[in-house]
Amino acid sequence: MSFSKKLCGMAGAAALSLFTALPAWAQDAAAAAPVPNKGDTAWMMVSTILVLAMILPGLALFYGGLVRTKNMLSVMTQIGAVACLAMLVWVTYGYSLAFGPDASEGLKPFVASLGKMFLAGITPDSTAATFTDGVVIPEYVFVSFQMTFAAITVALVLGSVVERIKFSAVMIFALVWLTIVYFPIAHMVWAAGGLFFEMGALDFAGGTVVHINAGVSALVACIILGKRMGFPKEPMAPHSLTLTAVGTGLLWVGWFGFNAGSALEANGSAALAMINTFVATASAALAWMVAERVAGHKASALGFCSGVIAGLVAVTPAAGNSGPFGAIVLGAVASVICFFAVTVLKPKLGYDDSLDAFGIHGIGGMIGAIGTGIVYSPSLGGPGGADYAIGSQLVTQILATVTTIVWASIGTTIAIFIAKAVTGLRVSPEVEQEGLDLGEHGERAYNY
């Protein structure tokens, strides 16, 4: 009895030591696979939601205030709807095309494979790499963060086609455009093996992917779609610069998630992006108003808002790639050139980029992308290494910019013509006259 009891006890002790050993093995295994840091994870979750606030309500109000009263709701609805569409397409196949497993050798620089379609294989334990070895964030957070970028980029394009494009055409265009333009360019810039990534192009938060891409696509789309009835003879003054100013503020606040969040960690690089997102924007806002005065006009509220956006756009690729004073100069230069683009170039060329998506995002994005190659230099206070060569980097920046312009132009042309074939693209003259709010959505923005 006592023997058997002792034996049992021994067996129990052996079993116990076996079990206590198990967690030790698990710890060894975990040391090999890094665990997300809670601070990084929390920051990236906040950043992701900040980018959502840039779209709804930020961009919706910014763009909405700029159109006429009769089209306010159509703009807000188009922006909200394409953002939602982008989210669903992103988790279905967009994330995989941009960041999925490598495609075959020839395709690899342009697009990833469909191996992560429907987010296959991603669990709460999956992680995504950051820019620091051994530092990771949960992959669901990375998927969500990148999802908001796809959503805002397609919404930005709409700025050139508002007040006349059909709602159905917007949805078809967005679906095709995301698939053939956005996902490949996001892959080229941000995924290991992507064309620009391998070229060593500097693009901190998406100057090429988001702004050049959206701006150029907007230009091509508005040229194919045609001008608004009465443009440019009839007055088409913004119906509420108050709402535009509110939207501008929300965009600026949200942009900290966009830029500082693009560090993918809560670290010094994010801090650099943060301060640059303050000061480049501040200098650009004032520079636009100075440009107005020099051109003989009054410093205006819309000029202030436009300068803020031009500065934010220009600092996007430079956010973590510039010193604060490089960013200040970059913001001011981009702002003045954008002012020239929307007040002189656009009237001269005669296209109806209604809300200046090209004039500010396209032009500002190009200045930012190319300027990043300059302000990155340590001699100008940038974070580049001592052996940084401005000349060769500039060539890379320009190559990435030109490739994006060509890709976006061709892709947008295809997407717009598909939308035209399916929906007819443009509302009838009666609907355009009466306003898209009533004609396309059966509502009025304001019932006094």
| Residues near other proteins, by CB under 8 A | 232, 235-238, 297-298, 300, 302-303, 306, 342-344, 346-347, 356
Tell how far CA 194 is from the center of its chain.
Answer: 18
Q: Tokens 């700029």 — which residue? A: 66
What are the distances in angstroms from CA 115 to CA 92, 109, 446?
Answer: 11, 16, 48
Taking the least distance from each CB to other proteins, the nearer of 31 and 237 is: 237
The distance of closest approach from Cβ of residue 430 to other proteins in the complex, given in angstroms and rounded to an integer, is 24
Which one, of 382, 411, 319, 369, lies nearest residue 199 by Cα?
369
- Assess contact for 148 and 259: CB atoms under 8 A: no
Contacts of 349 (CB under 8 A, 6+ apart): none
Looking at the Cβ atoms of 330 and 355, the one nearer to other proteins is: 355
Nearer to other proteins, 283 or 306 (CB): 306
Hey, is 137 helix, strand or coil? Answer: strand
Task: In angstroms, give the least distance from the CB of 344 to other proteins.
Answer: 7
Measured between alpha carbons, how far is 264 from 271 in angstroms, rounded to an integer?
12
Instruction: Let me know the angle formed at the C-alpha of 361 by 392 and 427, rounded to the nearest 5 degrees.
Output: 140
Nearer Cβ to other proteins, position 211 or 239? 239
User: Closest approach of Cβ 338 to other proteins, in Å?
Assistant: 10
Least Å distance, CB 305 to other proteins, is: 10
State how far the Cα of 312 lies from the Cα of 249, in Å rounded to an integer. Answer: 11
When the beta carbons of 139 and 353 are compared against other proteins, the nearer one is: 353
Closest to other proteins by CB, 12 or 232: 232
CB 302 to other proteins: min, Å: 6
Closest to other proteins by CB, 168 vs 300, is 300
Rounded-to-integer distance, Cα 382 and Cα 322, Å: 4
Tell the residue number behind the tokens 């070895």, with chain if given. Answer: 133
Q: What is the nearest approach in angstroms of other proteins to the Cβ of residue 425?
A: 25
Nearest-approach distance from CB 318 to other proteins, in angstroms:
24
Query: How many Å apart are CA 372 and CA 206, to the nearest integer?
Result: 12
Considering the complex, state which of residue 114 and residue 236 has its C-beta at the smaller distance from other proteins: 236
Name the minimum Å distance from CB 104 to other proteins. 47
Q: Which of 305, 285, 269 is nearest to 132 (CA)?
A: 269
Which amino acid is present at 406? V
Indicate left, alpha or beta for 173 from its phi (over 0: left) and psi (-120 to 50: alpha): alpha
